[in-house]
């Protein structure tokens, strides 16, 4: 076995520059670049995934409890349904029509009790203009709208909106009368950064106002914030078991599942595309090893006359492919990890937060499983590339090598 390994190493390090050596070198460079690129791209996707998750869990609840049937939650669903809750806030939600400056739009209005408004920390901390105020002021309702909705309606702080429920719009259409809505003054404008749909179609106001317009008997949802978002799955499972089919329990992940599905699809597509670089390099390895078999026919014949078996000849070329894979994948892994950790520590790629970027540098997170998968993929493909040349070398006849 020691002689087989020595010969395999000797074939990898040719003494003179040749066409086959150039192909092998290019193949190694291709695998190095492909492996490094895969590690960097997967880490970038992980970084942006974490960024999106942080934005989502900071604005949205960790767990949301909704009524499975009817408009309101059952009375048995109380804000103290679980002992590890950091906050449990009843929400009265309804779809309404908003009118301002002659423009109309349909939006989702989330009503919050005055005592719970300050505990709704996500939207409160997302206010970029004005203040977080949902309670009435000077006998006039207050409302906080999203930045996208403010841009669509061309309204700003202090503007007065008219809110109309679905029943009021229907009544106005059937009777041909002017709809009478409730006035609400814009006290603040928020920007969630977690979803453009939220910024364009969600507003917060008093729960009393929403119930007066919709005749809802009670809250339609219960937003739960936990000590850690990682507890959301366990808490949701517990609530589903204890509350039964009367409610629908959604985690923060369920609320944004479509976005995560898109991100996972993009991640998979990038992995497949970049793996093609490794496949092309592996094909070059197959070609170079096959040409090496043709070039080394005389050497193979001499080895067989000296007692080398077909299995030993096959092992020489299998070791060649494995060694090329180990060297190229190892260098590519070190290069990829070096670039990732260099970006994390030195922030080579930066962004200007004043220009609207959410982060100051390119986010990266190296995941061990991704590195292992990329390295194993490169090693397996490199080893597979040596199977055909090894089989051909083992089947070569001594007489053909002597004649060549």
Q: What is the pLDDT along the chain (404 residues), one digit of tens a residue?
A: 556 666 666 666 666 667 777 888 888 898 999 999 999 999 999 999 999 888 888 899 999 998 876 677 777 666 554 556 667 889 999 899 998 887 888 999 999 998 888 888 889 999 999 999 999 888 889 999 999 999 988 888 999 999 988 887 777 777 767 777 789 999 999 998 877 888 899 999 999 999 988 888 888 898 998 888 888 999 888 888 888 888 889 999 998 888 888 888 888 898 998 888 888 888 888 888 887 777 777 776 666 677 777 778 788 888 888 888 899 999 999 999 999 999 999 989 998 887 777 888 999 999 999 999 999 999 999 888 888 888 887 777 655 555 55
241 and 383 share one domain: no
Q: Does residue 286 share a domain with residue 387?
A: yes
Say yes or no: 176 and 40 in one domain.
Answer: no
Same domain, 33 and 69: no
| Locus of tokens 């009393």 | 208
Indicate whether 270 and 373 sit together in one domain.
yes
The answer to whether residues 103 and 219 belong to one domain is yes
**How deeply is 188 buried, as exposed, middle or buried, from its count of CB atoms within 10 A (0-12, 13-18, 19+)?**
buried
* Cβ neighbours for 138, distance < 8 A, ≥ 6 positions apart: none
Are residues 382 and 325 located together in one domain of the fold?
yes
Q: Considering its fold, how many domains does the chain have in total?
A: 2
> Based on the domain organization, do 313 and 204 belong to the same domain?
no
Instruction: Assess contact for 189 and 144: CB atoms under 8 A.
Output: yes
- Closest by CA position to 42, among listed 313, 322, 330, 363: 363
DSSP 159: P
Domain boundary residue among 226, 252, 278?
Answer: 252
Indicate if 226 and 339 belong to the same structural domain. Answer: no
Query: Kindly report the CA angle at 382 between 377 and 386, in degrees rounded to 5?
Result: 145
Q: Are 389 and 81 in contact (CB under 8 A)?
A: no
**206, 237, 252 - which closes a domain:** 252
Domain range enclosing 186: 63-252
Give the C-alpha separation, 319 to 298, whole Å.
Answer: 20
Q: Tell me if 210 sits within 8 A of 72, measured CB to CB.
A: no
Identify whether residues 68 and 11 lie together within a single domain: no
Domain final position from 252, 284, 319: 252
């Amino acid at each position: 076995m020691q002689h087989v390994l020595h010969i395999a190493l000797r074939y990898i390090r040719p003494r003179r520059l040749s066409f086959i050596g150039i192909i092998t070198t290019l193949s190694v460079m291709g695998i190095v670049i492909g492996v490094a690129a895969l590690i960097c791209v997967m880490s970038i996707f992980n970084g942006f995934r974490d960024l999106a998750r942080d934005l989502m869990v900071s604005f949205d609840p960790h767990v949301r409890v909704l009524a499975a049937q009817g408009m309101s939650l059952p009375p048995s669903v109380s804000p103290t349904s679980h002992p590890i809750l950091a906050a449990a806030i009843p929400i009265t939600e309804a779809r309404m029509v908003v009118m301002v400056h002659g423009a109309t739009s349909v939006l989702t209005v989330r009503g919050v009790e005055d005592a719970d408004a300050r505990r709704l920390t996500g939207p409160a901390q997302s206010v970029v203009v004005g203040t977080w105020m949902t309670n009435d002021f000077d006998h006039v309702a207050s409302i906080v709208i999203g930045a996208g909705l403010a841009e669509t309606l061309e309204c700003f702080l202090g503007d007065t909106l008219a809110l109309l429920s679905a029943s009021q719009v229907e009544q106005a259409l059937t009777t041909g009368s002017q709809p009478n809505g409730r006035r609400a003054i814009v006290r603040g404008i928020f920007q969630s950064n977690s979803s453009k749909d939220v910024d364009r179609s969600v507003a917060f106001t008093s729960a009393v106002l929403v119930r007066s317009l919709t005749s809802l008997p009670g809250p339609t949802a219960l937003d739960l914030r936990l000590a850690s978002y990682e507890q959301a799955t366990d808490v949701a499972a517990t609530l589903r078991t204890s509350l039964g089919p009367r409610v629908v329990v959604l985690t923060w992940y369920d609320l944004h599942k479509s976005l995560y599905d898109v991100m996972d699809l993009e991640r998979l597509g990038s992995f497949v595309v970049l793996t093609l670089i490794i496949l092309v390099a592996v094909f070059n390895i197959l070609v170079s090893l096959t040409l090496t078999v043709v070039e080394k026919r005389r050497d193979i014949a001499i080895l067989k006359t000296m007692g080398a078996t077909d299995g030993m000849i096959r092992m020489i070329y299998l070791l060649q492919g494995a060694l090329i894979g180990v060297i190229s994948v190892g260098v590519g892994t070190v290069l990829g990890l070096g670039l990732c950790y260099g970006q994390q520590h030195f922030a080579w790629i930066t962004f200007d937060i004043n220009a609207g970027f959410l982060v100051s540098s390119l986010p990266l997170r190296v995941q061990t499983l991704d590195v292992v998968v990329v390295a194993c993929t490169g090693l397996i493909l490199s080893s597979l590339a040596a199977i055909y040349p090894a089989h051909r070398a083992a089947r070569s006849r001594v007489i053909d090598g002597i004649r060549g």
